[in-house]
């Protein structure tokens, strides 16, 4: 069926090779962004773990989101940094499939956790008296596990479809990681039917969770506008502002890349937009939650203070030992 085509077993992640003069600058920027992402998300997880007043469903889900986003960046960014400095940018077919599976699983998990967070905010505002019963620790764990399982199942379906295609002739992926469209477009038997299935699976995650989030916020708004006091309305909206900001950033960029109609010359544009939700969004999320939340600010100051005291004690012990 493939005729005289040559079967491809390795790919070339072309990525930012189109910008050879900027690769060193990109490496420095992305490296420091990655370090900041790791430090910020780990700080949030530690602050939530050590602060008893943050042991609530909202912060439990936020900790899960921070962990998931940290893992998402670890799947993509280290490889991107290596490729920026390396002349050899090849990736084997199994490695490419593994990277796509892990990235899509974690990215889908992020979407479902955001949907769970919107349900948490709706429950807290709509049924404040029954909130401790409706959002127990067990229910939060179940929501988290359901997010992971659903993300894994959808990701597995996508990877099986993409890597059951026949890759021939071209092996250059116009991207810095193995994303769906740049890889699938290299196949010589990529049909409209398969495109529709992949679009349906992607839409199930992005559009499905976004619709659930918007439904939650419609009910939140309907509940808040009925509150008698302006202070109560402001307090209710302020508890949702951080989450809504993160949702707009995440779904805006992800939807633009994965759901808009594709053109043959759109890969460079998609690649640049992909940087936003692989680097920028995980960087902005902890900043948004820490800047707009006083409880989180207090917890982070406490954690950073303990860390600084710990290192100062180590330094003083070294000075005393040397003297």
First vs last C-alpha separation in the chain: 78
Inform me whether the pLDDT recorded for 310 exceeds 90: no
In angstroms, the CA 238 to CA 228 distance is: 16
Q: Which of the pair, 252 or 66, is modelled with greater confidence?
A: 66
Is 203:259 a contact under the CB 8 Å cutoff? yes
Mean local confidence (pLDDT), 246-275: 72
Q: Which domains, from first to last, does the chain contain?
A: 10-322 (1.20.1070.10)
In angstroms, the CA 180 to CA 101 distance is: 10
Determine which of 27-31, 101-105, 271-275, 290-294 has the lowest per-residue pLDDT on average. 290-294
Please tell me what DSSP assigns to residue 18.
Answer: G
Q: What is the pLDDT of residue 16?
A: 78
Work out the percent of the chain whose per-residue pLDDT is above 70.
89
Inform me whether the pLDDT recorded for 24 exceeds 60: yes
Render pLDDT for 59-116 as a digit per residue (tens, 0 to 9): 899 899 999 989 999 999 999 898 888 877 889 999 999 999 999 999 999 999 999 9
Mean local confidence (pLDDT), 139-155: 95
Tokens of 215: 């439904």
Render pLDDT for 191-203 as a digit per residue (tens, 0 to 9): 889 999 999 999 9
Q: What is the pTM of this model?
A: 0.87
CA 190 to chain centre: 28
């Amino acid at each position: 069926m493939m005729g005289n085509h040559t079967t491809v077993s390795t790919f070339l992640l072309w990525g930012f090779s189109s910008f050879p003069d900027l690769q060193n600058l990109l490496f420095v920027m992305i490296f420091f962004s990655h370090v900041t992402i790791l430090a910020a998300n780990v700080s949030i997880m530690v602050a939530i773990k050590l602060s008893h007043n943050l042991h609530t469903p909202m912060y439990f889900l936020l900790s899960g989101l921070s962990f998931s986003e940290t893992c998402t960046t670890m799947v993509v960014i280290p490889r991107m940094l290596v490729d920026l400095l390396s002349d050899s940018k090849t990736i084997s077919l199994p490695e490419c499939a593994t990277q796509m599976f892990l990235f899509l699983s974690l990215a889908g998990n992020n979407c479902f956790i955001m949907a769970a967070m919107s349900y948490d905010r709706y429950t807290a505002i709509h049924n404040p008296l029954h909130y401790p019963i409706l959002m127990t620790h067990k229910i939060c764990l179940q929501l988290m596990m359901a997010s992971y399982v659903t993300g894994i199942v959808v990701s597995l379906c996508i990877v099986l479809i993409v890597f059951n295609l026949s890759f021939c002739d071209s092996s250059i992926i116009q991207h810095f990681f193995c994303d769906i469209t740049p890889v699938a477009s290299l196949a010589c038997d990529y049909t409209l039917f398969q495109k529709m299935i992949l679009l349906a699976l992607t839409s199930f995650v992005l559009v499905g969770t976004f619709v659930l989030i918007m439904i939650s916020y419609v009910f939140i708004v309907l509940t808040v506008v009925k509150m008698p006091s302006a202070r109560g309305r402001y307090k209710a909206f302020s508890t949702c502002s951080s989450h809504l900001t993160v949702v707009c950033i995440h779904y805006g960029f992800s939807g633009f890349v994965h759901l808009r109609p594709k053109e043959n010359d759109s890969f460079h544009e998609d690649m640049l937009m992909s940087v936003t939700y692989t680097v920028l969004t995980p960087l902005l999320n902890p900043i948004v939650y820490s800047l707009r939340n006083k409880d989180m600010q207090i917890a982070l100051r406490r954690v950073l203070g303990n860390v600084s005291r710990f290192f100062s004690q180590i330094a003083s012990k070294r000075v005393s030992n040397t003297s």
